Structure 1
Amino acid sequence: MTPMLHTLAAPFQHSEEIRKSRFLAQAAPMATPQQALAYVQQVSDGSATHNCWAYRIGQDYRFNDDGEPGGTAGRPILQAIEGQGIDRAVVVVTRWYGGIKLGAGGLVRAYGGTAAECLRLAERTPIVAMARLGMRCEFAELALMKARLKELGVVFEQESFEADGVMLQLQLPEARVDEAKARIVDISRGRSEGRVLDG
């Protein structure tokens, strides 16, 4: 069983001063790589020495050292995201240089450490895998079907009324699919069944 991943409940920031350089980590939940890149543009400070960043959204990830020596900023930020069990998030660490060189190891610790501390302090929310079901039910069963399925965390995305009944498309936590299918069969006395839809 894979460990539960979390995303951030809301944007969060954390700053540290390390040998006269100021580091500001800004993290936020993101649904798409495009949103993550837009956030990087939005929070990057043109007057800062470096704006280094990383994001992970499912299988998609990217990082950028923004002029720091290769591998000393973006990758440690990404490792902080992964090390904290975070997904669907972006972290930008902005550095204002204070006149003391940190060296490669110092940079890795500064960027990775500031990002990790920001994520550690931020409020999280679990990522729940969702599934979609399609089903048909009779008009007379619709109210009961909706009431009983809502108890399982079902969200009704679409309903279309046809001559012989109602077609429904629903979204629900993946872990409750079998329970929902059993409930649909039970309420309809075997006349209806839920089928999992792709995407």
Structure 2
Amino acid sequence: MPTFKNLLKTHRYQEDIKKSTFIGICFPIDSLATFEQCLSRHGDSRATHNCWAYRLGQQYRFHDDGEPSGTAGQPMLAAIDGAGFDAVGALVIRYYGGIKLGTGGLARAYGGVIAKNLQSAPFQWHIPKTVLCLQVPFAHGQNVHALCQQFEGEVLQEIFHSQGADMQVRVPKDHMTDFKSALQNSSKGQISFLNKSSHCG
């Protein structure tokens, strides 16, 4: 079953609140290094504040960048989690307009800008997948490709040798049992499952 949403591309949302401009930028990440690169690329040193948060599996951090503690980064992280996203970084750039919002107003502003950003952001559901390594005789190579398509999987690697090919495929965990059965039935048991660690590229 899908467990969380993946952001497909960088997405922006801007809102003016009591003369302050809040620009929310959300971007997909796969590592802390990616997050830091995106933060550097999108941040604005001329702004009053560059507040941020990220969620990457069990890892998360947030930063208020001079706003009162707990009024910016933490509400942004809560917005990410509340929208059901993972592997995402969020930045809110604030240009101060001269009217103070108070702690409650700040938290609503920062959290709200990211929540509204993610409501309209392009995403796909994350589907847990498993990688399998197969030894496939020449006669059954096309069967593997066809079955991968049928079971929403993909062929990651195909290395040919004198007996056929060693193939690395990735298939949704929910389909794994049926996929293995279909492989065995279509090849009359001639497709072998290899040990991933020792044979799988």
Please list, as runs of the form range in 1=range in 2, the aligned pairs for 1:128-143 lying within 5 A after superposition. 128-143=127-142
SS of equivalent residue, structure 1 residue 31: coil
| Stretch deviating more after TM superposition (121-130 or 91-100) | 121-130
Tell me the equivalent position of 1:165: 164
> What is residue 126 of structure 2 aligned with on the other side?
127
Specify the alignment match of 1:109 in structure 2: 108
SS in 2 for 1:46: coil
Indicate the residue corresponding to 1:57 in structure 2: 56
| 1:130-157 superposed Cα distances (whole Å, 9 cap, x missing partner) | 2100111211222223223322222212
Question: Quick one: distance in 1 between partners of 2:19 and 2:164?
Answer: 70
Give per-residue Cα distances to partners, 1:147-174, cap 9 Å, x unaligned.
2332222221222233433221111222
| Unmatched tracts of structure 2, length 5 or more | none
TM-score (structure 2 length as normaliser): 0.90
Q: Residues 29-68 of structure 1: matches in 2 within 5 Å?
A: 29-68=28-67
Question: What secondary structure sits across from 1:107 in the alignment?
Answer: helix
How far apart are the structure 1 equivalents of 2:195 and 2:70? 43
Deviation at 1:177, TM superposition (A): 1.2
Supply the AA of the counterpart residue of 1:189: K
Q: Number of aligned pairs?
A: 198
Partner SS, residue 100 of structure 1: coil
Q: Is the 8 A contact 2:51 2:72 kept in 1?
A: yes
The CA deviation string for residues 22-58 of structure 1, in whole angstroms up to 9 with x for no partner, is 1110112222221111111111111100000111122
In structure 1, C-alpha distance between the alignment counterparts of 2:158 and 2:127, rounded to whole Å: 24
8 A Cα contact 1:28 1:89, kept in partner: yes
CA–CA separation in structure 1 for the residues paired with 2:195 and 2:31: 24
Identity in percent: 37
Structure 1 stretches of at least 4 aligned residues deviating more than 6 Å after TM superposition: none
Tell me which amino acid in the other structure corresponds to 1:28: F
Residue equivalent to 1:179: 178
